[in-house]
Amino acid sequence: MKFSQRLETWFNAVTFAEAGEFETAREILKNEQHVLLVLPDDRFRQNTLDRALNLSSRCGAAILDVFYPPLAETHLHSLLQTYHDSTIRWQTLAIQGDLDKAILDYVRRTPAVAFVMLEEMSENLTTLTSPWRNLPCPLVVMTPGTTSI
């Protein structure tokens, strides 16, 4: 979505909010927001999903897209069953091939991605490749010691 289209969406939401139609304003904004959660390996924790859901809800995202390695499919789907009452929709996408390329391609194809959440990997994140630094949205890196967002 182009910046001018986003701006128009925001102005429409503000107009509804000023008229007292707060729920309509929220829905207008909610329809455009995605959060991308990246699980780089099959050893992720449930609190990673909890934090992603919490942050998605706080920012008004309608969809939480989850990238996961094929080995984690059974574990992921069993954990997602605990979130069936969530107001946020889930989309799960198995990562095939290069993780960096898959994320960058997805973010470029889905301009409504508010931010990318990444569970800390074993590599040193200070050596992120140039494409990571050029993400068109913020990158949130969750570390094991983080208790809440």
Strand runs (DSSP E) across the chain, as ranges?
34-38, 63-68, 89-94, 113-119, 139-142
Long-range interactions of 76-85: CB distance < 8 A, separation 24+? 76/39, 76/44, 79/46, 79/49, 80/49, 82/46, 83/49, 83/53
Residue type, 60: G
Whether residue 10 has pLDDT greater than 60: yes
Q: Select the more confidently predicted residue: 86 or 102.
A: 102
* Residue-level pLDDT at 134: 74
Give me the pLDDT at residue 121, please. 62
CA distance 122 to 135: 21
**pLDDT, tens digit, 9 for 90 and up, residues 109-118:** 887 888 888 8
Q: What is the pLDDT of residues 18-27, one digit of tens each?
A: 888 888 877 7
